[in-house]
Amino acid sequence: SQTIHQWPATLVQPVGSPLSLECTVEGTSNPNLYWYRQAAGRGLQLLFYSVGIGQISSEVPQNLSASRPQDRQFILSSKKLLLSDSGFYLCAWSPNSQETQYFGPGTRLLVL
Amino acid sequence: EDQVTQSPEALRLQEGESSSLNCSYTVSGLRGLFWYRQDPGKGPEFLFTLYSAGEEKEKERLKATLTKKESFLHITAPKPEDSATYLCAVRQGGSEKLVFGKGTKLTVNP
């Protein structure tokens, strides 16, 4: 069976510091990978998605970037965090673009 | 402009009191409507995918239905462990993106 991992589970960072969140998937190959952010009172918002190694598509302009260095690894980064980057970050995977997306446990980020 | 609207925002039920949650959508060329359950501080857990009007799916006390404009999540004889936020999302044809509603927070009291 497939398993998706995210770490860290929680993170408190000062404004202006860098960020690196990691997501890995086990039990499948060549998955589609997604980064979402969930803010209080708002629906989940897609930030980035990837259909293969090195292929990244951005949905919204922002202070964040994503990379996919390996088939089942997806990284969310920032060079300098803003207060508005606080939120609950969720990684998801799907077998292909037409099928269900399955979510990881999430990372709670608080920028102070 | 919201493409996915869920109602009510919050719902309180007594154990055993059946009800329905609504998800209305305005996307054209629907390529899937998805229901998830989310517990506090955790990632969404997949429940159902519906692809065409008239389709129905069931799992334990939950039943999801789909029309051309909306989906319902029916909860029959709910238990306290059904308390969670239920999220609805749609995928438009040709898009990778799932557009999510804001969710319905369900509380089932014993």
Q: Are B96 and A42 an interchain contact pair (Cβ–Cβ within 8 Å)?
A: no
Q: pLDDT for B1-55, tens place per residue?
A: 558 999 999 999 999 999 999 999 998 788 899 999 999 999 999 999 999 999 9
Closest by alpha carbon to B68, among B55, B57, B86, B81?
B55
Q: In this predicted structure, what is the pLDDT of residue A62? A: 79
Tens of pLDDT, residue by residue over A36-54, are 999 887 789 999 999 999 9
Is residue A98 predicted with pLDDT exceeding 80?
Answer: no
What is the distance between the alpha carbons of residues A35 and A88, in angstroms, rounded to a whole number?
11
Comparing alpha-carbon positions, the chain A residue that sits nearest to B44 is A103
* 8 Å CB contact of A41 and B46: no
Give the residue-averaged pLDDT of B106-110: 97
- A74-105 residues labelled b (16+ CB within 10 A) or e (exposed): bbbebeebeeebbbbbbbbbbeeeeebbbbbe
Query: Is B64 in contact with B34 (CB distance < 8 Å)?
Result: no
A77-98 average pLDDT score: 93
The answer to whether residue B92 scores a pLDDT higher than 90 is no
pLDDT score at A43: 82
Pairing of strands B19-25, B98-100: unpaired
DSSP reduced 3-state for A88: strand
Give the pLDDT band (50/70/90) at residue A1. Answer: confident
Average pLDDT over residues B97-106: 93
Indicate yes or no: CB of A46 within 8 angstroms of CB of B44: no
Nearest to A42 among B31, B49, B102 (CB): B102
Averaged pLDDT, B41-70 = 96
Query: In this structure, which amino acid lies at residue A58?
Result: S
B positions 15-44 inside 8 Å of A (CB)? 31-32, 34, 36, 41-44
Task: Please give the Cα distance from B40 to B59 (Å, whole number).
Answer: 21
Question: What digits encode the pLDDT tens for the residues A5-37?
Answer: 999 999 999 999 999 999 999 999 999 999 999
Amino acid sitting at position B49 = T
Do A65 and A87 meet the contact criterion of CB atoms below 8 Å apart? Answer: no
Residues facing residue B49 across a β-bridge? B34
Instruction: With cut-offs at 50, 70 and 90, classify the pLDDT of residue B73.
Output: very high
CB A100 within 8 A of CB A94: yes
Model confidence at B83, in pLDDT bands (50, 70, 90)?
very high
Q: Looking at the DSSP assignment, which residues form a beta bridge with residue A62?
A: none
Region of residue A16 (left: phi > 0; alpha: psi -120 to 50; beta: else): left
What does the pLDDT read at residue B1? Answer: 56
Flag if B4 and A97 touch (Cβ within 8 Å): no
With pLDDT > 90 as the criterion, what percentage of chain A qualifies?
Answer: 84
CA distance B24 to chain A (A): 14
Q: What is the mean pLDDT of residues B94-110?
A: 91
**Res A55 pLDDT > 70:** yes
Pairing of strands B30-38, B84-92: antiparallel
